Homo-oligomer: A and B are copies of this chain.
Amino acid sequence: MSTSSIESPSAVATSEFDRDTAVTLRESGVYDAELSAGWTIIAAVNGGYLLALLGRALGDHLPHPDPFTISAHYLTPSVPGPAVIRTETVRTGRTLSTGTASLFQYAEDGTELERIRVLASYGDLDTLTDDVRTTATPPAIPPAGQCFSAADNPDPRIPGSSAIVDRLDLRLDPACVGWAVGAPSGKGEMRAWFDLADGRAHDPLSLLLAVDALPPTSFELGLKGWTPTVELTTHVRRRPAPGPLRVSITTRNLAGGFLEEDAEVWDSADRLVAQSRQLARAPRD
């Protein structure tokens, strides 16, 4: 594809998210990128931010613009700094195209280290029919003014020390923040209002960020350790309406040292705009 769908410098300047997920075409299918330190949790680069970056490159390379279903396997921990994304077209169809993308970083000797491998099918959300027979219902989250933001967090270690907190306008449901005061609910649930701090409007790429940007459900299960993602698959089902998103994450099967996290993302028009599931390693404590 041409470079036309890559954000122009002027557009990039308007949003932290677009600036930090910008990719530069090096040669056909190969994109240079810079992983920003602005989207880290403690020292780790957020998996949703990385997915959005890969999603942008693949949307440029494939003939269809929007990720309909995108699966990412996280291989090694990404770090802030330069990266290269190599994309490949698997099949081009009339309504869907399938492709792969790999994000690499560089070892000290310059060799490439693969961080993430993605397999995805892209389409055009604007061509979808208007039929809706959704039986799922939006999560019941109190008004944003009654929810907890990072500024209210009594435990500054998590997530207050994380750069990503400043990039997001996250309002956590009070029913899901017991972990922050040492009283986890015991339920594998996390819910929040979700926006970008600089007010950037939502699109399919910010949905890829939204599905992996809340504190892990394991916090409310009383486990405070790290829950590294093994694999994350997201279905983008609709272009989000203007306004804040609501994100609901549920874990129902913490077993054998692994857990799943199911995310739903709802837009301001009460439409289920994205569904995701990830497999993650459970914290050891």
Tell me how far the C-beta of A261 lies from the nearest C-beta in chain B, rounded to whole angstroms: 11
Which chain A residues numbered 107 to 158 have a C-beta less than 8 Å away from chain B? 114, 117-121, 125, 128-136
Q: Is the CB of B96 within 8 A of A76?
A: no
Q: Is the CB of B117 within 8 A of A117?
A: no
Tell me how far the C-beta of A34 lies from the nearest C-beta in chain B, rounded to whole angstroms: 23
**Chain B residue at minimum C-beta to C-beta distance from A128:** B256
**Chain B residue at minimum C-beta to C-beta distance from A93:** B75
Alpha-carbon gap, A256 to B136, bound state (A): 15
With an 8 A cutoff between CB atoms, is A257 at the interface?
yes
With an 8 A cutoff between CB atoms, is A98 at the interface?
yes
**Chain B residue at minimum C-beta to C-beta distance from A98:** B73
Residues on the B chain within 8 Å of A87, using CB: none
CB < 8 Å neighbour of A68 from B128, B258, B275? B258
Which chain A residues numbered 172 to 195 have a C-beta less than 8 Å away from chain B? 187-188
Which chain A residues numbered 248 to 282 have a C-beta less than 8 Å away from chain B? 251-258, 260, 271-272, 275, 277, 279, 282
CB < 8 Å neighbour of A119 from B119, B121, B272? B119
CB < 8 Å neighbour of A133 from B71, B114, B254? B254
Q: Is the CB of B252 within 8 A of A237?
A: no
Q: Is the CB of A131 within 8 A of B252?
A: no
With an 8 A cutoff between CB atoms, is A231 at the interface?
yes
CB < 8 Å neighbour of A255 from B133, B253, B258? B133
With an 8 A cutoff between CB atoms, is A230 at the interface?
yes
Tell me how far the C-beta of A38 lies from the nearest C-beta in chain B, rounded to whole angstroms: 27
With an 8 A cutoff between CB atoms, is A233 at the interface?
yes
With an 8 A cutoff between CB atoms, is A224 at the interface?
no
Alpha-carbon gap, A114 to B133, bound state (A): 33
Alpha-carbon gap, A93 to B114, bound state (A): 13
Q: Is the CB of B231 within 8 A of A253?
A: no
With an 8 A cutoff between CB atoms, is A238 at the interface?
yes
Tell me how far the C-beta of A184 lies from the nearest C-beta in chain B, rounded to whole angstroms: 12
Q: Is the CB of A119 within 8 A of B253?
A: no
Tell me how far the C-beta of A240 lies from the nearest C-beta in chain B, rounded to whole angstroms: 13
Tell me how far the C-beta of A177 lies from the nearest C-beta in chain B, rounded to whole angstroms: 19
**Chain B residue at minimum C-beta to C-beta distance from A187:** B135
Would you mind naming 5 contact pairs between A and B with Cβ atoms under 8 Å apart?
A69-B230, A71-B233, A90-B117, A100-B100, A235-B260
